[in-house]
């Protein structure tokens, strides 16, 4: 499972695409960019308005991982 955050409410907004979660871009976190998909069968959980460090402290992130597992 790939978990990714975004500094913007809309992860597809160009600012969100450039900044990602303020540390990792969404294309790097998900393995998906305009040209290819590195993990074609991966489950991706996107968390808008959640920065990189905040991902580790969010119950909804842990719920998504638990439900996937």
Q: How far is CA 47 from the centre of its chain?
A: 6
Per-residue model confidence (pLDDT) at position 32: 79
Cβ count near 4 (within 10 Å): 24
Provide the β-strand partners of residue 2: 44
Over residues 44-49, the mean pLDDT reads: 90
pTM of the model: 0.80
- pLDDT of 34 strictly over 80: no
């Amino acid at each position: 499972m790939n978990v990714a955050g975004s500094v913007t409410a809309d992860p597809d907004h160009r600012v969100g695409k450039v900044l990602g979660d303020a540390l990792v871009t969404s294309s790097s976190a998900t393995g998906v960019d305009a040209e290819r998909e590195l993990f074609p069968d991966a489950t991706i959980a996107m968390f808008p308005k959640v920065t990189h460090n905040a991902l580790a402290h969010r119950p909804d992130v842990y719920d998504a991982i638990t439900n996937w597992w």
